[in-house]
Amino acid sequence: MAFIKKKERSKERFSLLLLDLEEYYFEQHTAYNVTRSSTTQPRKVRGSLKICSKSVIFEPEPLSEPILKIPLRDCQKIEGVEENDRNPFNDSMLVGVSIACRQVYYIKEGNVVAPYRIERGDSNFFFQLEIPRKTEDVIQMLLQLHRASCLDKLGDQTAMIAAILQSRLARTSFDKNSFQSVSEKLHMECEAEMVSPLVTNPGHVCITDQNLYFQPLNGHPEPVVQISLRSVRRIYKRRHGLRPLGLEVFCSENDLCSDIYLKFYNTKDRDELYYYIATFLENHMAEHTAESYMLQWQRGHISNYQYLLHLNNLADRSCNDLSQYPVFPWVIADYTSAELDFRNPASFRDLSKPVGALNPERLERLLARYRDMPEPKFMYGSHYSSPGYVLFYLVRVAPEYMLCLQNGRYDHADRMFNSVAETWKNCLEGATDFKELIPEFYGNDTSFLENSLNLNLGKRQGGRTVGDVALPPWASDATDFLQKSQKALESQFVSQHLHEWIDLVFGYKQRGSEAIAAHNVFHPVTYEGSIDCDSIEDPDQKIAVLTQILEFGQTPKQLFTTPHPQRITPRFQSMTRTPSQNTSFNELSPASVSEDSSFEDLTEESRRLAWSNMGKLKLVASHKLHKEAITGIAVTRNGASVFTTSQDSTLKMFSKESGSLQRSMSFSNMALSSCLILPEDATVVCSSWDNNVYFYSIAYGRRQDTIMGHDDAVSKMCWRDNQLYTASWDSTVKVWRCVPADIMNKRSQFQLLAELEHDAGVNTIVLNHAGTLLASGTKEGVVSMWNTGSFVLLQQVPCHSGKVHDLAFSPDSRHVLSAGEDSCLRVLDVQTGMVLSTVATEEPQRCFCWDGDTVLSGTVSGELLVWDLMAGKVTHRIPAHTGPLTAMWMNEQCSSIITGGEDKQVIFWKTQF
């Protein structure tokens, strides 16, 4: 309903919906419809004569008079009448156009929206133009269009009309007097068509350094459409008629309908305009990928409704294109109970199946037909979204669109949208009904459920008049129905299973073997790329294919080729468990982590506050402690002592209290790569490029143990529950069990528990909060995720084109953030391995801290950057080091930060509250 402009409907009787599909409106002239009987004086009715590519339309000024539509193909004669020459009215003052036809449509009689009255038989009409000198031009135009309409082949008709249109566009240009300011600088001008449901309107597009303009060739519905470039928030390339010619512009973040939809005559013009507008968008288009919206949805930053709208937009679904209208799922399955129980899984539709597979008996019949069908096979003979289905739901609020689509008629009363329960039942049992819903079912406007226009939609069998839509017993009225539908869409059950429906409609089960296995196969013509219309040489065949595609329905563009991750629903006990769920993985992932009380203690609020103020970091102190680059930072639990490692091969101990260096230790003549402090604050562990790991006793001030465990440099370490994880450039991660020293064993014992093989040197590793998952990143850009209980590889994702610099789990362990040598930050879904978001950075980020939403990273140029990861943009830049920032540490409260760099400096920071 977002595309319906009520003010236009109430003020203007004529609209482009009175034209046939694929018809153009060229020009209008003020004229008089002159009629006369044999006994009375001629009667003149003033109005507007519209010249269209397939018809002549006369819109009379008196609202009581009907609009006349004369199809050009039904015209027997079109000629000019001057003075007494063949003037049937014997009035020497009349000069105009005479039309003899076999058929005429009477529309909006009594100014009521109703099915058209068609009068067949010979009729004569005489139109007198208010400006007589234009009569000859109008007649020549009508004769030319009449010749086109009388051609035998539809392809020839279309080609001739297209030639006439292009000729008229070429003879005109955008009126520069329409610019908002004389200082505007023109960038480009070209021909295009403005698209709205069921109609297109040709004209001229013009873009300047300030505004986007569209000037319709016919001046309808307004002389110029103007959009300020500074108001643009989103733009999308569209496929229109299966060709990459569309561009849609939104001036708001969340509106269902765009501000303008343009269809260009060639892709080059479309792309040039797109990129020019994109330069005005602060974040270009990086934040508008399916993956970035997926991340926001997963973490609860946008609702299920908003996420589905974004996916529809990205998949070329538009409210301005009824053949690709946004598609939403049926989520409620109970339309008979007095109360709707949101806690009962039976109240909800199985979102893992397409509508056609919800009824096992019907599905078996369809599969039997499918098995015997010759190639190309399909399971369903109709689609889940088409113009007819959209207007089936919207007929009460968009009757003129239905009349346009069905040549001036409504559907049979018994086939209309009479009852929600009946419609759902037919979708479950009907032999050819597999339709899904539209966004309006989850909106706030009830008008599509109510016959507030008092339309005469016919009578059903039994004599019942079609009125308001019958609602389920659990809905007290239309408002209550929509509110409960919204609640169902955002419910925990749907949030848990919505990804399964996304897999069917936008994801990996849309095509191929997965679609067959999921019983999700539609007619081949509905899929993007299945037909190349430009390669069809026969014009009639080409038009037939395009018509079939536009009327039958189109499958959305495929957005995902791997399983879509589930939404994060913390503290949620699953009502059902599907066989596809990986039980062993679920035991390790976020549900168990969320039970950890550390996520809900009093410091959580202080953490959020600290991260919200990350852009206000205050430099506390800076110290040059080493002779080479800093490689690792570790701090005791009380924060009193800071240990750092460096490529200068030393471990140093710095006292924050005294602000002085207290110790300097050297274990080998090669660089130390990282350090960590064991939980009791008694031991520091250092890794080295000499293939060894060293244990340093803080109390005794000496080296106490050494692990000689790798064949190449040890790059990074982690510790959890007396287990040490060491990563090495020898392409392995080793897991060691530490048995502390006792009276019998004066030295600690290290038992090798596992060796995790990689295809390239491992550059970094990280454990999740619970210690149940390990992520590793290699020199070749691959990120792997491991189960630390079984040491099984869960995911392996080629993530970067260069080495992985740093990794971190989100606090809930659902996601991993990686920073690479290729100047990208990427968010991975732990369960599926899918890359959810990619943020291009100006330069490589060497290290970072992450709270799941905001990132504090260190760059090669030495800056600290604060990123809003959801928006994919830098919110703050903080000068820090004079060279690459190589190491970073943050305390549990996120209030104290220490950074180290290649400039040999260690800098202490505080977040300001």
Structure confidence at residue 39 as a pLDDT band (50, 70, 90)? low
Secondary structure class of 314 (helix, strand, coil): helix
Q: Residue with structure tokens 């909106």?
A: 443
Instruction: Assess whether pLDDT exceeds 70 at residue 90.
Output: no
Q: What is the CA radius of gyration of the chain?
A: 35
Lowest mean pLDDT among 391-400, 528-537, 792-801: 528-537
Boundary (domain end) residue, out of 144, 169, 194: 169
Instruction: Assess whether pLDDT exceeds 80 at residue 591.
Output: no
Instruction: Assess whether pLDDT exceeds 70 at residue 21.
Output: yes
Structure confidence at residue 36 as a pLDDT band (50, 70, 90)? confident
802, 654: one domain: yes
Tens of pLDDT along 882-908? 999 999 999 988 889 999 999 999 999
Tens of pLDDT along 465-495? 999 999 999 999 999 999 999 999 999 999 9
Assign residue 850 the CATH number of its domain: 2.130.10.10
Tens of pLDDT along 214-250? 999 999 989 999 999 988 888 889 988 778 999 999 9
281, 332: one domain: no
Structure confidence at residue 602 as a pLDDT band (50, 70, 90)? very low
Q: Average the pLDDT over 598-627 and give the result.
A: 79
Structure tokens at 217: 């060739």
43, 189: one domain: no
pLDDT at 549: 72
Q: Average the pLDDT over 710-729 and give the result.
A: 96
pLDDT at 548: 76
Say how many domains are in the chain: 4
221, 89: one domain: no
Q: Average the pLDDT over 805-812 and give the result.
A: 94
660, 773: one domain: yes
563: in domain: no
Assign residue 59 the CATH number of its domain: 2.30.29.30
The parent domain of residue 521 ranges over 322-379+418-552
198, 112: one domain: no
152, 181: one domain: no
Share of the chain above pLDDT 90, in %: 72
- C-alpha 441/C-alpha 437 separation (Å) is 7
* Choice between 871 and 573, residue whose per-residue pLDDT is larger: 871
pLDDT at 844: 95
607: in domain: no
Q: Average the pLDDT over 752-757 and give the result.
A: 95
127, 190: one domain: no
Tens of pLDDT along 812-855? 899 999 999 999 999 999 988 888 888 999 999 999 999 988 99
pLDDT at 596: 36
- Distance between first and last Cα of the chain: 47
Cβ within 8 Å of residue 57, ≥6 positions away: 14, 18, 19, 49, 50, 67, 68, 69, 70
Tens of pLDDT along 639-652? 899 999 999 999 99
Tens of pLDDT along 413-433? 999 999 999 999 999 999 999
Instruction: Assess whether pLDDT exceeds 70 at residue 594.
Output: no
Boundary (domain end) residue, out of 267, 288, 309: 288
Q: Average the pLDDT over 393-405 and give the result.
A: 95
52: in domain: yes
pLDDT at 646: 96
Structure confidence at residue 559 as a pLDDT band (50, 70, 90)? very high
Instruction: Assess whether pLDDT exceeds 60 at residue 85.
Output: no
830: in domain: yes
Tens of pLDDT along 657-710? 888 999 999 998 999 999 999 988 999 999 999 999 999 999 889 998 999 989
Q: Are 481 and 517 in contact (CB under 8 A)?
A: no
pLDDT at 597: 34
Q: Average the pLDDT over 572-577 and give the result.
A: 34
Question: Rounded to 5 degrees, what are φ and ψ at 828?
Answer: -110, 140
Lowest mean pLDDT among 357-361, 445-449, 574-578: 574-578
385: in domain: no
Assign residue 505 the CATH number of its domain: 1.10.1540.10
Q: Average the pLDDT over 747-768 and give the result.
A: 92
pLDDT at 726: 97
Structure confidence at residue 284 as a pLDDT band (50, 70, 90)? very low
Q: Average pLDDT of the chain? A: 89
Secondary structure class of 708 (helix, strand, coil): strand
pLDDT at 84: 55
356, 441: one domain: yes
pLDDT at 781: 96
Lowest mean pLDDT among 37-51, 237-251, 349-363, 591-605: 591-605
Instruction: Assess whether pLDDT exceeds 70 at residue 267.
Output: yes
Boundary (domain end) residue, out of 552, 580, 600: 552
Give CA separation, 158 vs 151, 152, 171, in Å. Answer: 10, 11, 20
Lowest mean pLDDT among 161-175, 363-377, 531-545: 531-545
- C-alpha 224/C-alpha 227 separation (Å) is 10
299: in domain: no
3-state DSSP: the chain helix, strand, coil percent, rounded to 5? Answer: 25, 35, 40
pLDDT at 583: 31
Structure confidence at residue 612 as a pLDDT band (50, 70, 90)? confident
Give CA separation, 606 vs 595, 618, 769, 853, in Å. Answer: 20, 17, 18, 16
Predicted model pTM: 0.82
577: in domain: no
56, 187: one domain: no
Among 817, 805, 822, CA closest to 885: 805
Cβ within 8 Å of residue 490, ≥6 positions away: 303, 304, 305
Angle between helix axes 290-298 and 304-314 (nearest 10 degrees) is 170
- C-alpha 208/C-alpha 880 separation (Å) is 41
896: in domain: no
133, 183: one domain: no
Instruction: Assess whether pLDDT exceeds 90 at residue 606.
Output: no
Among 602, 509, 511, 507, CA closest to 559: 507
Among 718, 738, 726, CA closest to 689: 726
222, 113: one domain: no
Instruction: Assess whether pLDDT exceeds 80 at residue 714.
Output: yes
The one-letter amino acid code at 841 reads T
Tens of pLDDT along 726-745? 999 999 999 999 887 654 45
